[in-house]
Amino acid sequence: MPFSLLSWVLLLLSALSHSGASPWLGVWPEWSTQLTQGAFVLGIFLYYRYRSSPLQGQAFVRLLRGLLTGPGMLALACVGLHLLERLAKDQPVFSSNSLFFTCIYTLNLGLFVIFLARTNYAWRALVLFRSGQRLQREWTVFEVLLGFTLLFRLVGINPPNYIGIPIVVALGLYGIYLSGHQKWVAYLSQREKWRAVLLQAGLLLGVLIFVQYFRVTQADPQLIAPQPQYAFLLLTAFFSAFYALMGLMVTFFNLPISDIIEQRRSEILRLQRLTQIIQRGQTSAEVYGILLESAVQTVSADAAWLDLAPGHAGAESAEATQYFNLSKPQVDELRTRLAAHDLPEGEFITNDLNMRAGFEGLPQHFRSLLQLPLRGLQFNYGMLYLLKLEPHTFDREDLSILQTFTSQAVLSIENLELVRTSLDNQRTQEELKISFQVQDSLIPKNLPTDNWFEISSHSLAAREVGGDFYDFLHLPGRRLAVIIGDVSGKGVTAAFHMAQMKGIFHSLMQENPLAKNERDKFPVPSRFMAQANMALTHCLEKSSFITSSLYIIDYEQGGFVFARAGHCHTLYYHALREEVFYFDSAGLGLGIIRNESYEKHIKNQFYDYSPGDVMVIYTDGIVEARGGSGTDEYGEDRLKLRLEESYFQNAEEIKRYILNDLNAFTSGYPIHDDQTLLVIKFKSAQPPPTA
């Protein structure tokens, strides 16, 4: 900037010296004027070139306004100075004072250069708006070429007209080509376009004023002015004016279609809003609300309503109907009239509603109706109705735009639904995990140990929780109660009853202080079953039942007593007879008969065991396990064979042997019932360890 200022002052002095107005300056050589002028132009242009882009974001109108109020005002200043000059002409004092004229002329030249520089670089911002690499390179070439024209005059090369004119014309054409880049116009709203047209017209006027001034002063014989840098200034002035003109034309001719462009842009914005709601996870009521609002605005409907299918996702949380410019009674009336018409299920447009029978005498005279279903994957979420007062206003295109909206809305709704279900699922999973932990704590972890027997156990639930259970209880007098059971059904319900049964076992197996003799202090198995049956009467649903076996092993006497309440038969290896067999005893499951008569259906069975005997207790999940061809069951026979092959091993080994065979049998099939397996091996009587 100081460089420009200095060169301008020198230019002024040089011009003055030529005009001969101030003899004390002497006569400067011709080239000094050219040099200072060139330096000034170069300085100003470079200054504006490296200033930050005048365009901020998409504030095109602000840029134009800035141009008009800033450099545009320079044109006014120019006019003002010119008028002053005209006035001064009539004054005798100034009549021959070429000093004054030269000053004004040089001042105006400076203003013009500033004006051109500002305008050119504002246009650069607009030309390069959203442009590619190529256009940027083309612009730079344009600048360099213009720079050369400046240089030509500076070094004094004055090409003959037949070379100079084509060069200038070619550069002018280049400028015209660059003026074709008016992308920014598309980003203006209708109001902004009007403003842009006016501002550009104002700028054009500014250029014209300057050009006119210079044309007039050139002709003025009074002025011995330095020759301005013709080619450069001409070209930049031409470019500034032409770009403004071109922009004006483009903007002006864009005006009639700008509302369509704006409509498209607002449709995109609305669609974006709908999409954003998906991500924010708002409620379905909001989605429906925005759909109705967007649809109404897009087709500028006079009234509308949205019927939501009851029972479907979100319909209960949203209002069943959403209205726009209509009241419920009005919609009800329209609905009954439409129902009488038997309209098609899907999209439907009618543009002559008033001509149809049954629609006379409507309070509002709607002439056009558009009906559009909200189609989901499985079902329709509802129906959108849009109404207009004018006839023949809806067309296929409206329908396709609205369809984008409805499908986007349906997508949002289904997405919300999905999120909700997955949250529900997650919660259920959490609860199941807790149930599993609770149930796991009900299964005895520490098996009773004694030197009279060995126990090994295995349990596996078909789901997270199951209905199988087993438990042990040491009774006084070297006795052990063992219970196994299976609640009908699977999953959480079965698990509840399993917990209940465990409670019943522990409460019934309490010592009765009123008992007359030792044997009656604890209920015998059949009595236990009868009491358990009574206890379950009121808490087991009608179609549920429990099978169970209770064993009370007395290893002082070397025998046991058991009762089987509908549970699987006990598998037994008799060591002395070297024989494997199933105990065959009758007994009814618990919860099948819910009165006193149950006791008739349950029996005790006594048995004396000998060391080496093996007892295998299990639930039906073992013998009914599916494998082989898929419908084959593991079966009692196969279980019996496995014990015949493994009775001599210890309890843990026998259990593992059986399970290995079971797993081999069922491999590839899902486990469909809970499995429990207990192996008890009696050992030869040994005296209790003395402490």
* Token digits of residue 172: 């002018």
Give DSSP secondary structure letters for 349-396.
EES-GGGSTT-TT-SS---EEEEEEEE-SSSEEEEEEEEESSSS---H
- Does position 593 interact with other proteins (CB under 8 A)? The reply is yes
Exposure string of 478-498, with b = 16+ CB inside 10 Å and e = fewer, is ebbbbbbbbbbbbbbebbbbb
The residues in 412-431 that bind other proteins, with binding defined as CB under 8 A, are: none
Q: At what angle do helices 133-154 and 30-49 cross, to 10 degrees?
A: 160
Minimal distance, residue 270 CB to other proteins, in Å: 47
Of 33, 149, 500, 547, the residue at the interface with other proteins (CB under 8 A) is 547
Distance between CA atoms of 202 and 208, rounded to whole angstroms?
10
Minimal distance, residue 323 CB to other proteins, in Å: 43
The residues in 548-567 that bind other proteins, with binding defined as CB under 8 A, are: 565-567
Of 542, 629, 630, 687, the residue at the interface with other proteins (CB under 8 A) is 542
Minimal distance, residue 620 CB to other proteins, in Å: 8
**335/569 with CB nearer other proteins:** 569
Give me the sheet containing 559-565, strands edge to edge.
Answer: 468-475, 479-487, 546-554, 559-565, 604-608
- Does position 676 interact with other proteins (CB under 8 A)? The reply is no
| Amino acid at position 236, single letter | T
Measured CA to CA in angstroms, residue 398 lies from 36, 349, 366 at distances of 65, 10, 17
DSSP alpha helices (H): ranges in 562-635?
620-623
- Does position 568 interact with other proteins (CB under 8 A)? The reply is yes
- Does position 545 interact with other proteins (CB under 8 A)? The reply is yes
**494/580 with CB nearer other proteins:** 494
- Does position 651 interact with other proteins (CB under 8 A)? The reply is no
Minimal distance, residue 359 CB to other proteins, in Å: 48
* Burial group, residue 135, by CB count within 10 angstroms (0-12, 13-18, 19+): middle
- Selected range binding other proteins among 202-210, 439-447, 531-539, 544-552, rule: CB under 8 A: 544-552
Contact residues for 319 (Cβ-Cβ < 8 A; gap 6+):
285, 308
- Selected range binding other proteins among 385-393, 416-424, 448-456, 536-544, rule: CB under 8 A: 536-544
**307/673 with CB nearer other proteins:** 673
Minimal distance, residue 547 CB to other proteins, in Å: 6
Of 291, 587, 639, 681, the residue at the interface with other proteins (CB under 8 A) is 587
Contact residues for 18 (Cβ-Cβ < 8 A; gap 6+):
27, 28, 33, 224, 226
**193/497 with CB nearer other proteins:** 497
- Does position 629 interact with other proteins (CB under 8 A)? The reply is no
Of 5, 76, 586, 685, the residue at the interface with other proteins (CB under 8 A) is 586
DSSP alpha helices (H): ranges in 70-183?
71-90, 98-127, 133-154, 161-179
* CB atoms inside a 10 Å sphere around CB 517: 6
* CB atoms inside a 10 Å sphere around CB 64: 24
Distance between CA atoms of 292 and 385, rounded to whole angstroms?
9
Long-range contacts at 606-609 (CB < 8 A, ≥ 24 apart): 606/559, 606/560, 606/561, 607/559, 607/560, 607/561, 607/562, 607/583, 608/557, 608/558, 608/559, 609/558, 609/559, 609/560, 609/682
Of 158, 279, 449, 543, the residue at the interface with other proteins (CB under 8 A) is 543
* Token digits of residue 281: 């996870």
Query: In the stretch 444-483, what mask flags binding to other proteins with x, by CB under 8 A?
Result: ----------------------------------------
Distance between CA atoms of 341 and 357, rounded to whole angstroms?
9
- Selected range binding other proteins among 32-40, 46-54, 540-548, 656-664, rule: CB under 8 A: 540-548
Distance between CA atoms of 173 and 690, rounded to whole angstroms?
119
- Selected range binding other proteins among 42-50, 357-365, 593-601, 678-686, rule: CB under 8 A: 593-601
* Burial group, residue 679, by CB count within 10 angstroms (0-12, 13-18, 19+): buried
If phi > 0 it is left, if psi is from -120 to 50 it is alpha, else beta; for residue 63 that is alpha
Minimal distance, residue 588 CB to other proteins, in Å: 3
**175/591 with CB nearer other proteins:** 591
Of 458, 479, 569, 640, the residue at the interface with other proteins (CB under 8 A) is 569
Minimal distance, residue 364 CB to other proteins, in Å: 52
| Amino acid at position 568, single letter | C
Minimal distance, residue 541 CB to other proteins, in Å: 8
Distance between CA atoms of 112 and 670, rounded to whole angstroms?
91
**373/591 with CB nearer other proteins:** 591
**337/672 with CB nearer other proteins:** 672
Q: Using CB under 8 A, count the residues that bind other proteins.
A: 26
Asked whether the beta carbons of 46 and 181 are under 8 A apart, the reply is no
Minimal distance, residue 556 CB to other proteins, in Å: 32
564: three-class secondary structure by DSSP = strand
Asked whether the beta carbons of 207 and 241 are under 8 A apart, the reply is yes
Of 375, 458, 574, 594, the residue at the interface with other proteins (CB under 8 A) is 594
- Does position 589 interact with other proteins (CB under 8 A)? The reply is yes
- Selected range binding other proteins among 59-67, 209-217, 318-326, 537-545, rule: CB under 8 A: 537-545
- Selected range binding other proteins among 181-189, 332-340, 586-594, 609-617, rule: CB under 8 A: 586-594
* CB atoms inside a 10 Å sphere around CB 295: 25
Residue appearing with tokens 């083309």: 138
- Selected range binding other proteins among 144-152, 172-180, 242-250, 580-588, rule: CB under 8 A: 580-588
Minimal distance, residue 548 CB to other proteins, in Å: 11
Q: At what angle do helices 230-280 and 98-127 cross, to 10 degrees?
A: 30
* Token digits of residue 595: 């009165």
- Does position 601 interact with other proteins (CB under 8 A)? The reply is yes
**229/547 with CB nearer other proteins:** 547
- Does position 528 interact with other proteins (CB under 8 A)? The reply is no
- Does position 627 interact with other proteins (CB under 8 A)? The reply is no
**143/633 with CB nearer other proteins:** 633
Of 108, 412, 488, 675, the residue at the interface with other proteins (CB under 8 A) is 488
Minimal distance, residue 475 CB to other proteins, in Å: 26
Minimal distance, residue 610 CB to other proteins, in Å: 27
Contact residues for 139 (Cβ-Cβ < 8 A; gap 6+):
124, 127, 128, 178
Minimal distance, residue 636 CB to other proteins, in Å: 8
Minimal distance, residue 566 CB to other proteins, in Å: 4
- Selected range binding other proteins among 59-67, 171-179, 215-223, 538-546, rule: CB under 8 A: 538-546
- Selected range binding other proteins among 142-150, 155-163, 394-402, 588-596, rule: CB under 8 A: 588-596
Minimal distance, residue 482 CB to other proteins, in Å: 19
List contacts with other proteins (CB under 8 A): 486, 488-490, 542-545, 547, 565-569, 586-589, 591-594, 601, 620, 631, 633
